Amino acid sequence: MQQNTINNWQKIVKFGSHSLYSHIVGLSLAALIIGTGISFGSASTPPDSSGAISRPTLKLGSKGTAVSELQAALKLLGYYDGEVDGIYGKTTAQSVSKFQQAAGLTPDGIAGESTWKRLFPATPTVSTPKPTPSSTPKPTPSPTPTPEPQVEATSAPTIDLPTLRLGMRGAAVSGLQQRLKALGFFSAKIDGVFGSKTEIAVKAVQKKFKIKPDGIVGKSTWEAILR
């Protein structure tokens, strides 16, 4: 394989005596011989700040070493059979269009960034990540349980109900009458006046719940009515 490659290199050199062309093709074929692939790029296209080779946009009428580099690459790939003279003529433009069409690009005959990238695809650099030294994790202290607040048992609040008897008036009497009516012991008008009808109803409740029937609404009578 090496002998065939060298023979091809000798044939390619005969296509043009341009020293840059011979230099580029020679480097490319040398790379093929050692198995590293095609690697164009010369001092005429210095790398930019990011390290990538920055090549100019070339079109019909362009001249210079960048055009020679383009022609040499196209010739090596079989798209250009003219002379590597550094002049971007019609033949070079047609060769660029053929390459662009084959590469899935718009065949406009202008060698721009996308065309250069297809001609010289960047080789991705695979970096091996450095192992991060493992550190012994420190034991996480268990959280100290927060003691629950002690809730003191409190007795149910007592309702201070007034003692009601015959002759009294007010909202408390009205409330008493409403409750007696709900229990079915009082059928008169709720007027807030502790009259005889209210007293009779209270005594009836007291008798039912076995409370002394004195007609006076005290604590025990209230408890019976509000059950």
Tens-level pLDDT at each residue, the chain (227 residues): 445 544 554 444 444 444 444 445 554 554 443 343 344 444 445 555 555 567 899 999 999 999 998 998 888 788 999 999 999 999 999 999 999 999 999 999 999 999 988 887 765 555 556 666 666 667 676 667 666 656 544 444 455 679 999 999 998 899 899 999 999 999 999 999 999 999 999 999 999 999 999 999 999 999 888 87
**Interior/surface letters 5-31, b for 16+ CB within 10 angstroms, e for the rest:** eeeebeebeebbebebbbebbeebbee
Residues 36 and 105: beta-carbon distance below 8 Å: no
Q: In 35-185, where does DSSP find H-type helix?
A: 65-77, 90-102, 113-119, 171-182
Q: CB-hemisphere CA count at 13 Å for 22?
A: 9
Phi, psi of 153 (to 5 degrees): -70, 130
Rounded to an integer, what distance in angstroms lies between the CA atom of residue 158 and that of residue 155?
8
Per DSSP, 47 falls in state: B
Rounded to an integer, what distance in angstroms lies between the CA atom of residue 20 and that of residue 44?
10
Which residues are registered as beta bridge partners of 164?
A: 217
SS3 169: strand
CB within 8 A of 212, min separation 6: which ones? 206
SS3 63: strand
Q: How many C-beta atoms surround the C-beta of residue 54 within 10 A? A: 12
Residues 73 and 92: beta-carbon distance below 8 Å: no
Rounded to an integer, what distance in angstroms lies between the CA atom of residue 178 and that of residue 193?
12
All structural domains of the chain: 2-119 (1.10.101.10), 171-225 (1.10.101.10)
Kindly tell me the number of DSSP H helices and DSSP E strands found in the chain. 8, 0
Q: What is the pLDDT of residue 97?
A: 95
Residues 39 and 28: beta-carbon distance below 8 Å: yes
Q: What is the pLDDT of residue 155?
A: 47
* Model pTM score: 0.39
